[in-house]
Chain A
Amino acid sequence: MNARTAVMLPGSTTPAAHHERYITTRVLGALLALLCLSLLAGISLGSINVAPGTVATVLAANVLPHGWIDVRKVSEADSVIVWLIRTPRVLVAALVGAGLALAGAQMQGLFHNPLASPDLVGTSAGGAFGAVLAIACGLATRSLWYVPLLAFLGAMGALCAVYAIATQRGRTPVATLLLAGVALSALIGAATSLVISLQFVNYQVAQEIVFWLMGGLDSRTWVHVSMIAPCVALGALIAGAVRRELDVLLLGEEAAASLGVDVEHIKRLVLTSAALLTGAAVAVSGVIGFVGLVVPHMVRLLMGPAHRRVLPASALAGASCVIVADVLARTVMRPEELRLGIITAAFGAPFFLYLLLTRARDAAVR
């Protein structure tokens, strides 16, 4: 999607249009470079550091046809660390970050509120409940697929419930949607607490649940990449498809309708996309807060409100953010790993407060 936005159109007849496109191209280019750097850093750094040259060699050897790259200089351990441990982990991190940021950007557009976040409609709570249930029932030990699957189903189920509750006579007012989401999240949260408290006698399971809830990317494999990638791809495709409608919806539902937008249809599409993206993210990484809230907001300050710029930039910036946060989680207390959710909250929450306060000050000035 970024490539499409970044291309110089022949259609601009004014310097203003040219200038705008120039800025967009430059910012997207910078974000793409940042993502490449974080990917490289994410693979090199960790409990054991691997030289960037070695990383490049291993990646090239695995991506390019067999025999093109000479891998005799690379040790077996480095090869395993780079290709089987770190690469899937940073890819999952990138997909989770891109997914959460894209979901956040869409929700903020839909709710006309720059401080909205993707878990407003109960997807995070539902996902967490599904995962906790899978762990508590012992399904987690049987197959790698159970926890992500139940988490994903939980997220989608919660969204469907919230949507059904908020819809009356074919219309779904966003305010009702928001309040239904808050109420149902609280209810599901209580159910999750209940399951945890019942499992407290079983220390190991309780520990696993609590760890999962804190969010983390430890021991994520290529299987996890293949779980999340299609969901993020589909979610991003939907987001790209409704980018103009999201712009128009920011002007209010009546204005959107008079410009030919089928408002309720777009709401369903956006919610589906946001649920796919957050559901998939929760499924493979647990609950990771503040990325979906802060990243799109930051991007908007940089590039203005138009979604054709906000969406690709959020995806790129979100991916970089989660990769960097994961690197910090791995390296801050080496060899111990911190939980990823702690890092994103530690950086995201103060930044969020900073945004709140500057907004309040701007409002006071006006």
Chain B
Amino acid sequence: MSTLALHNAGVAIDGHWLLRGATMTLRAGNVTAFLGPNGSGKTTLLCVLAGLLTPSAGHVTLHGQDLHSFGRRALAQRIAFVPQDTHVSVAFTVREMVEMGRHPHLRRFERVRQRDHALVEDAMRRADVWHLARRPVTELSGGERQRVIIARSLATQADVLLLDEPTANLDIAHALDVLDLCQQLAHEGKAIGLALHDINAAARYATHLVLLSAGRLVTQGRPEDVLQAAQLNQVFDVCTDRTHAADGTPVFVFYRDRHEASNPDEGAARGETPS
């Protein structure tokens, strides 16, 4: 069972704190969603968790061991990261892209083997890109490309999966497929971390929520505790109505009170998914 934890971690670039005093734990079997307006530090937090950014303060541990005591390869075997921007300019085939997920497991002169092929094919099936295997990745739609990158992260067999706004480019059906897949992977014992803009999706799929604002973790915990209208109003600078879906899951409707909104420029982050 894996746990990836931040201990009072902060990231400063040129004296400006993008993330400060972050303490949280990503547990195996959980879907942890990071919510917050644009620029609140979600991507920075994910990069720190993935070991792609070294925190300027505090530290990160994986299974209680400092993240930076792992080598690059060892880390890539344990933590997979799906960036928000999945644009690829080189015409690799989908199979070749997913095969790159095996890279952290292959020694320098080692060839891709039967076992790797099987894992690659399994990953492609799970992310629903099997039918695209021979297509150049440059010819895919944004949603298909996103699923290819998810397939690649599955092929790494990492226990921790970090996805930066994985549903941002997807239509509703594929967004739900991706979130279902995340939930299923969590059930299989992986630790899933998601940066999300869609608060309703977070309410439905996440088992643990972290709310960020201006580089600080405002609050974290179970969705029903974190998703309080007053809290959301303050963090996202909106007005929130909370209702319920037929199955009892909370549903949030957001609107802006134009008269009271203090800063009209900060309204980009609302409940719906931006393009």
A residues apposed to B, CB below 8 Å: 4, 9-14, 16-17, 20, 112, 240-241, 244-245, 247-248, 250-251, 254-255, 257-262, 304-306
Structural contact, A13 and B90, CB atoms closer than 8 A = no
Question: Bound complex: CA of A100 vs CA of B74, how far in Å?
Answer: 35
Question: Which listed residue (B74, B88, B101) contacts A259, Cβ 8 A?
Answer: B101
Q: Which residue of B lies closest to A113 (CB)?
A: B89
In the complex, chain B residues whose CB is within 8 Å of the CB of A248 = 100, 103
The residues in B between 78 and 108 inclusive whose CB is less than 8 angstroms from any CB of A are 79-81, 83, 88-93, 95-96, 100-101, 103-104, 106, 108
Check if B16 is an interface residue, CB within 8 A of chain A.
no
A-B contact pairs, 8 of them (CB 8 A): A4-B111, A112-B90, A245-B103, A247-B100, A258-B50, A259-B100, A260-B73, A306-B92
Q: Which residue of A lies closest to B156 (CB)?
A: A259
Structural contact, B134 and A16, CB atoms closer than 8 A = yes
Question: Which listed residue (A11, A20, A250) contacts B112, Cβ 8 A?
Answer: A11
Known contacts A17-B117, A304-B92; decide if A260 and B103 are in contact (CB<8 Å).
yes
Question: Bound complex: CA of A9 vs CA of B156, how far in Å?
Answer: 22
Check if B118 is an interface residue, CB within 8 A of chain A.
yes
Check if B235 is an interface residue, CB within 8 A of chain A.
no
Known contacts A12-B117, A13-B118; decide if A262 and B72 are in contact (CB<8 Å).
yes
Most buried by A among B76, B89, B96, B100: B100
Check if B213 is an interface residue, CB within 8 A of chain A.
no
Question: Bound complex: CA of A12 vs CA of B121, how far in Å?
Answer: 10
Question: Which listed residue (B75, B112, B118, B121) contacts A260, Cβ 8 A?
Answer: B75
- Chain B: interface size category: 35 or more
Check if B52 is an interface residue, CB within 8 A of chain A.
yes
Q: Which residue of A lies closest to B101 (CB)?
A: A259
In the complex, chain B residues whose CB is within 8 Å of the CB of A262 = 72
Check if B175 is an interface residue, CB within 8 A of chain A.
no
Question: Bound complex: CA of A365 vs CA of B9, how far in Å?
Answer: 48
Most buried by B among A10, A112, A251, A304: A251
What 0/1 pattern do residues 126 to 164 of B give for CB contact below 8 A with A? 000000011010000000000000000000100000000
Q: Which residue of B lies closest to A305 (CB)?
A: B90
Min CB distance B134 to A, Å, is 5
Min CB distance B228 to A, Å, is 34
Question: Which listed residue (B83, B90, B108, B114) contacts A250, Cβ 8 A?
Answer: B90
Question: Bound complex: CA of A4 vs CA of B112, how far in Å?
Answer: 12
Structural contact, B103 and A11, CB atoms closer than 8 A = no
Known contacts A17-B117, A304-B91; decide if A255 and B83 are in contact (CB<8 Å).
yes
Check if B220 is an interface residue, CB within 8 A of chain A.
no
Structural contact, B113 and A241, CB atoms closer than 8 A = no
Structural contact, B121 and A14, CB atoms closer than 8 A = yes
Min CB distance B209 to A, Å, is 24
Most buried by B among A254, A258, A259: A258
Question: Bound complex: CA of A250 vs CA of B138, how far in Å?
Answer: 13
In the complex, chain A residues whose CB is within 8 Å of the CB of B92 = 247, 250, 304-306
What 0/1 pattern do residues 213 to 243 of B give for CB contact below 8 A with A? 0000000000000000000000000000000
Question: Bound complex: CA of A240 vs CA of B134, how far in Å?
Answer: 24
Structural contact, B96 and A9, CB atoms closer than 8 A = no
Check if B116 is an interface residue, CB within 8 A of chain A.
yes
In the complex, chain A residues whose CB is within 8 Å of the CB of B81 = 258
Structural contact, B101 and A9, CB atoms closer than 8 A = no
Most buried by B among A112, A247, A255, A259: A259
Structural contact, B72 and A261, CB atoms closer than 8 A = yes
Question: Bound complex: CA of A21 vs CA of B156, how far in Å?
Answer: 23
6 A-B pairs with the lowest CB-CB distances in the bound complex, closest first = A260-B76, A260-B104, A260-B73, A11-B114, A258-B81, A250-B90
Question: Bound complex: CA of A28 vs CA of B85, how far in Å?
Answer: 35
Question: Bound complex: CA of A65 vs CA of B81, how far in Å?
Answer: 59
In the complex, chain A residues whose CB is within 8 Å of the CB of B91 = 304-305
Structural contact, A112 and B89, CB atoms closer than 8 A = yes
Q: Which residue of B lies closest to A250 (CB)?
A: B90
Q: Which residue of B lies closest to A255 (CB)?
A: B83
In the complex, chain A residues whose CB is within 8 Å of the CB of B101 = 259
The residues in B between 19 and 65 inclusive whose CB is less than 8 angstroms from any CB of A are 50, 52
Known contacts A11-B114, A11-B116, A17-B95; decide if A259 and B103 are in contact (CB<8 Å).
yes
Question: Bound complex: CA of A248 vs CA of B101, how far in Å?
Answer: 9
Structural contact, B106 and A259, CB atoms closer than 8 A = no
Structural contact, B52 and A254, CB atoms closer than 8 A = yes
**Given A16-B134, A304-B136: 17 more A-B contacts, CB < 8 Å:** A11-B116, A13-B114, A13-B118, A14-B133, A240-B109, A244-B103, A247-B96, A247-B100, A251-B90, A254-B52, A258-B50, A258-B76, A259-B103, A260-B72, A260-B73, A261-B72, A261-B103
In the complex, chain A residues whose CB is within 8 Å of the CB of B114 = 10-11, 13
Min CB distance B63 to A, Å, is 18
In the complex, chain A residues whose CB is within 8 Å of the CB of B106 = 244
